[in-house]
Amino acid sequence: MDSFSNVFSLEGKVALVTGASYGIGFAIASAYAKAGATIVFNDIKQELVDKGIAAYKELGIDTHGYVCDVTDEAAVDAMVAQIEKEVGVIDILVNNAGIIKRIPMTEMTAEQFRQVIDVDLNAPFIVSKAVIPSMIKKGHGKIINICSMMSELGRETVSAYAAAKGGLKMLTKNICSEYGQYNIQCNGIGPGYIETPQTAPLREVQPDGSRHPFDQFICAKTPANRWLKPEELQGPAVFLASDASDAVNGHILYVDGGILAYIGKQPQ
């Protein structure tokens, strides 16, 4: 059994998870640490990096945190070079950093649209491009892009986010197509609706005792009939970062409680 479980081990690997001071990125990086990886992460401000390092320390995890804007190509190249020098060649990259702006399309400015595309699509291109050459030299690498339900589905007010995440799905497939020959696997994870501090207001019980309308909507659309927990992304993320997934490439693994398989409940 031990030799089989070794294929899921990340012992001796260096993992860079972007924007992993908190939330989904934090949950994934924590799982990688438990599987044996050395964790590197970035955030856009020193204050967030410091908070992230402290939060990992509370779990007994030593991390390397860097301040870097992932939309800035020169800054990303400098960070990757620094990581290679101070920690080692990056074996696993998780493109997790992202933003969303919920604005009706006709009210959204082109500048706001571009900002979302820049963080959610251009940045994964920039960071992937920075780590791929050393992965080629090493003869192995894993790139995991955090996609979304909006890589497949549309919704009101998220035109820029859906466009970016749909593009990220295709960037994932194209990295696979272009660099699979070098033993680099690029896959995506598409989280469903996750219980995080940011979504907490959407799950609050209303003054009349009823559930929030969005909470009702999500549960009705999910065969699991509930929001998912950040920890439920950990197993899939470790699988896609480990040798167990060496034959899995260009795939988007939706961890969504079944949303994409389901047409939804018939109204009563």
Q: Which two tokens stand for residue 218?
A: 């999500």
Residues 6+ positions from 162 with CB-CB distance below 8 Å: 148, 150, 151, 153, 154, 155
Residue 38 and residue 11 in contact, taking contact as beta carbons nearer than 8 Å: no
Q: Which two tokens stand for residue 121?
A: 């699509």
Residues 6+ positions from 114 with CB-CB distance below 8 Å: none
| 161 among known catalytic residues | yes
Q: Which two tokens stand for residue 230?
A: 């950040």
Residue 194 and residue 233 in contact, taking contact as beta carbons nearer than 8 Å: yes
Q: How many CB atoms lie within 10 A of CB 266?
A: 5
Residue of 32, 56, 66, 161 with catalytic role: 161
Which active-site residues does the annotation give?
Answer: 161
